[in-house]
Amino acid sequence: MHAVSYDAFAPDNSELRYGELPDPKLGPSQVLIEVRAAGVNPVDWKVMAGGLDPMMDTFFPVIPGWDVAGVVTALGPDTPEFAVGDEVMAYARKDDVHAGTFATLVAVDAPAVARKPPGMNWIQAAGLPLAGLTALRTLDRMEVGRGDTLLVYGASGGVGGMAVQLGADRGARVIGTASKANQEYVRGLGAEPVVYGDGLAERVRELAPDGVTAVADFVGGQVDVTKAVLAPGGRNASVVDPEVAKIGGLMIWVRPDGAKLTELAEIASRGALRVVVERTFPLSAAGEAFDVSRAGHVRGKLVLEV
C-alpha cells in the first residue's frame, strides 16, 4: 500500500516520507478500510514531535492519522456489524502509535467504526470523527442543554465549530470566540461571536451579565477568563489545558466510539451539523497540510484525499 510515514520523532516535516509499506494485518473484530480520505488534526503533528511518547508506545515506522473515511474491503473474524462494500468512517486511534490512516489501507477495530451518511461526501466524512467526537464528549460531560449559556473558546476551529453547532442544536445559547475575520463565520454556525484577546472577559459579560453556565475550551490558557465569566454552579472543560482542574473543570480525552459517531452522523443527516473543510491535499502532500495546521489559523478542517 501507499502511505505517509516517519522513522523518528521530529518537530517538523523532516522525517515524513511518502512511499510503499506492507499492507496492514487484519485482526479479530477489525475491518480493513480502503481509505478515500483522512482528516488532518493538530494532534497528528504533535504526535510526530513526540508529544504522546510518555503515555503511548511507539513503533517505527509510524503512519500518522486518526481520522478516516472509506470502503470496507475485508473483515476480521467475528465482525458481524459490517459487510464488504460498506461506506464507513472512524476515529481510528489505537493504543499505540504505529499504523494510522494516512495510507491507502487501514485496519480499524469495529466498535470504532460508523456508517457514512449517504448525503455526506468522503471529504466531509473524514473531517467529522475526531473533531466531532471531541466536541460531543465535551458537551456530554458538562451535560449542556436547553437553558444553558455556553461559551466556546476557538469557535472557528474544527472542534470549536462543531461544539457551537451541537450546543445550538441542544437548545443552548452559544457565545463563541474568534478573530475579527471569523466573526460572521461563527455567527453562521449558530453562535454570538466575540473577539478573543485582551478584554475578553468584559466582552463576554456584556453579552451575558449573569455569567455563562458552561465553558468549552479548545484553545488553552483561558482559566482566568473562565473564572471571571462562569456563573455560580457553572461547568467548564478543556481538551488542552489541565489547569482547568484548579477551578473544578474537566479535562477531556476523546475516545474511539462508533455509537457516538453514529449519533453525530444522524445529527448531520438532519442538517444540524455540517463539516466545514477549508482545504484538501493529496496524500503525498501531508507535510504541506501539517504546515498549514501548525500555522494555527484553519477555519474548520483540513483533509487528505486518497
| Helix, strand and coil percent figures for the chain, each rounded to 5 | 30, 30, 35
Residue whose C-alpha cell reads 472512524 in the numeric block: 90
Q: Given this model, what pLDDT does residue 28 score?
A: 96
22: left (phi over 0), alpha (psi -120 to 50) or beta: beta
Residue whose C-alpha cell reads 450546543 in the numeric block: 167
Separation between Cα atoms, residue 293 and residue 301, nearest integer Å? 9
Cell of 188: 453562521
Q: How much of the chain exceeds pLDDT 90, in percent? A: 100
Separation between Cα atoms, residue 16 and residue 12, nearest integer Å? 9
Task: Give the pLDDT band of residue 262 (cuts 50, 70, 90).
Answer: very high
Separation between Cα atoms, residue 37 and residue 283, nearest integer Å? 9
Asked if residue 166 lies in contact with residue 139, where contact means CB atoms within 8 angstroms, the answer is: yes
Residue 56, Cβ neighbours under 10 Å: how many?
A: 14
Task: Give the pLDDT band of residue 112 (cuts 50, 70, 90).
Answer: very high
Residue 12, Cβ neighbours under 10 Å: how many?
A: 13
Name residues whose C-beta falls within 8 Å of residue 271's C-beta, 6 or more positions apart in sequence: none
Average per-residue pLDDT in the chain?
98
Q: Given this model, what pLDDT does residue 289 score?
A: 98
Which whole number is the average pLDDT over 168-178? 98
| Residue 224 φ then ψ, to 5° | -65, -40
Q: Three-state SS for 197?
A: coil
Q: Given this model, what pLDDT does residue 79 score?
A: 97
- Taking the whole predicted model, whether its pTM rises above 0.95 is answered as yes
The per-residue DSSP string of 79-135 comes to: -TT--TT-EEEEE---SSEEE-SSBSEEEEEGGGEEEPPTTS-HHHHHHSHHHHHHH
- Domain borders along the chain are 2-128+275-305, 131-251
Which whole number is the average pLDDT over 271-276? 98
Task: Give the pLDDT band of residue 90 (cuts 50, 70, 90).
Answer: very high
* 201 burial level (CB within 10 Å; 0-12, 13-18, 19+): middle
Asked if residue 155 lies in contact with residue 189, where contact means CB atoms within 8 angstroms, the answer is: yes
- The CATH code for residues 2-128+275-305 is 3.90.180.10
CA nearest neighbour of 275 among 161, 117, 139, 181: 161
Q: Tens digit of pLDDT for each residue in 30-77?
A: 999 999 999 999 999 999 999 999 999 999 999 999 999 999 999 999
The per-residue DSSP string of 154-176 comes to: TTTBHHHHHHHHHHHHTT-EEEE
Cell of 129: 470523527
Q: Given this model, what pLDDT does residue 62 score?
A: 98
Q: Given this model, what pLDDT does residue 172 score?
A: 98
- The CATH code for residues 131-251 is 3.40.50.720
Which whole number is the average pLDDT over 229-256? 98
Which whole number is the average pLDDT over 272-284? 98
Q: Tens digit of pLDDT for each residue in 137-162?
A: 999 999 999 999 999 999 999 999 99
